[in-house]
Structures are given as structure tokens and as C-alpha cells.
Structure 1
Amino acid sequence: MTNPKNLNDLQWQCTSFAELSNLQLHAIYQARSAVFVIEQNCVYQDVDGKDPLSHHLTAWTPEGEVAAYLRIVPAGISFDEASLGRVISTQEWRGTGVGKQLIANGIKALHALYPGAPVRIGAQAYLEKFYGSFGFETVSDIYLEDDIPHIEMLLVAKARLNRL
């Protein structure tokens, strides 16, 4: 019998590209390739030049493996708005709730870096309801990216009410 995955065992790290160790960067690229290139059968250039400009949110297992990951891209790089991209949960951790934690922590980290900034994502269309549960709203028609249906979604920071 395998040990159940425990979300409390994960260590969350949000760091700039320069602060990642060589081993951490290798593990991130390995996890991204496993999901995007192997599982989704997409031949594309994953290392696209945006990583050095981005922050990287990673959920690390006690063994130093990636359980979940996303990158936080500043405004003007992928979209006019700041964005979350390269969102993955590794195969071993799917179904544990780590994806929900990843998006919640990603939004929180992005807003810590860019307070009040709207967040745009290019999401796989089948995840529209998932991202919608975090307040993202669909703002585009479906388009194909690497032969996978995608949509753009936007999360706008809610105006704070001033108390008198």
C-alpha cells in the first residue's frame, strides 16, 4: 500500500529565478516537461525566455520533488496584465487538492508582488469552471494553443469599500 499524499507535508516557496538553485530549476523543468511535453504530447519550446523575468511558486515534497508549480509573470510579458502560467500539478499529487492550494497561493503571491493588479491567464478550456471558482471570468472565445482548446480569463481585484 502506498502512503497517502499529505498536503501538510509540502513546503511552499515563491522565489525569483535568480534565487532558484540549479537543482530546484532542474526539478521544475523536469516536472513541466513531464506534464506539458510527455503527458499532453505537445512538442513546443517550454524554456521560452520568460522564466528569468518571473517569480516561481513551487510546492516541494519532503524529498525535494515538485508536487505543484506555477510561474508569476509580470505585466507586459505574456499579457498586458500580470499573469499566472505554466500551472501544473504533478501526476502523483493530482486529486489531493494541491491544485486548489496552488491557485490560491499563486493569486496571493502575485498580489503580494503586484498589489491590486488584475490577473490574466490563458487556461485550458476544460478548466474554466475550476478557475471560475477563484473569481476568474472568461474574456475570450476558445482558441487553440498547441492543438489544445484554451480561453483567456481575467481576475480583477475587487474595489475595497472605504469605511467612514
Structure 2
Amino acid sequence: MTISCKIFDELTTKELYDLLQLRSEIFVVEQQCAYLDIDGVDFQCHHLLIYDHNDKLQAYARLIPAGLTFLENSIGRIVTREHGNGLGKILMKVALVEMNNIFGDRPIRIGAQMQALPFYRNFGFIEDGEPYDEDGIDHIEMIRVDRN
């Protein structure tokens, strides 16, 4: 497994293609959501990529500075190619470390799919607000304030 975290300008053409392809495969095709994934936010973010030993992107997350999607720093586009193999936990653990390294010890807000609440609770996120519909899927904002 190879893990890297890069700003947009450091991404290779292959890495950019891989991350856009994975996001499209899962968020657009698998979850059947027609939405604009390429939203102009990527340029200002860090991109966390996890490749397997065959150089295939298996997991990805976008680390977003405060003020772009929420007032707080955020993690978005959290995605794994396969579910139930523990890679999501690795992705979130690394994402939280990188968030702290990049942005310091600050609150992190996410827009979570309702079905994933137990997963994010395991990482210290708590619901903050009311559920809302995003592209036909129920979501809720969650925040992580305490790093302990």
C-alpha cells in the first residue's frame, strides 16, 4: 500500500485521473447521483490517495481548508473502492493525522451520509444540525472538536 497526500499542483496526471475516476465510479455510478463532482474546490485542497501494490487507487479523501465548503476545515469526497475491508478506517485515521499536520489542531466538519454515522462517530464526530437531502441521499453535518 502506498499513501500520499499532495496539494493539487503536485498531483501527477495519472493521480488526478485516478481520483476523478474513483469519485465518479462511486459517487455518480454506484450511488446513482448526477451531480457536478468537479466543483472548483480541488485546486485549494490537499488530496489523500491510497494505492494498492498494483498501483490502483483504492481510497481517497479531499482535505479542505476552512472557508471553502464549511467555516471549519473539512474532509470531503471520502471514498473507498471496496467496503468492509478496513481500508475506510485506515483512510480516516491518516486523514485526521494529515488534517492536524496541515491545518493544526482545529475543529473538522463533514457532510456525512446518514448510513455512515456509526463509522464517523468512531472517529469522534458528532451530529451537528438537522438531516438534509444532498443529491437524493440523506446527509447530516458532523463536527469533530476534541482530538483526544
TM bin (shorter chain): over 0.9
Gap runs ≥5 in structure 1: 1-9, 160-164
Deviation sequence 1:52-95 (CA, Å, 0-9, x none):
1000001011222111000000000000000000000003xx22
Query: Which protein has the larger Cα radius of gyration, Structure 1 or Structure 2?
Result: 1
Q: CA RMSD in A?
A: 1.0
Could you list the runs of 5+ residues in structure 2 that have no partner in the other structure? none
User: Distance in 2 between the 1:111 and 1:40 partners?
Assistant: 30
C-alpha displacement of 1:108: 0.7
1:136 is matched with which residue?
125
Q: Which runs of 4+ in 1 moved over 6 A?
A: none
| Residue correspondence of structure 1 range 1-164 to structure 2 within 5 A | 10-91=1-82, 94-158=83-147
Distance in structure 2 (CA, Å) of the matches to 1:116 and 1:103 = 16
Give identity over the alignment, percent: 39
Mark the CA change 1:62 to 1:103 in structure 2 (over 3 Å): closer, same or farther.
same
Q: What number of residue pairs does the alignment pair up?
A: 148
CA–CA distance in 1 between the matches of 2:75 and 2:5?
Answer: 13
CA distance in 2, matches of 1:157, 1:50: 26
Question: Normalising by structure 1, what TM-score?
Answer: 0.88
Partner-residue secondary structure (3-state), 1:121: strand
TM-score normalised according to structure 2 size = 0.97
After TM superposition, give the deviation of residue 158 of structure 1 in Å.
4.4
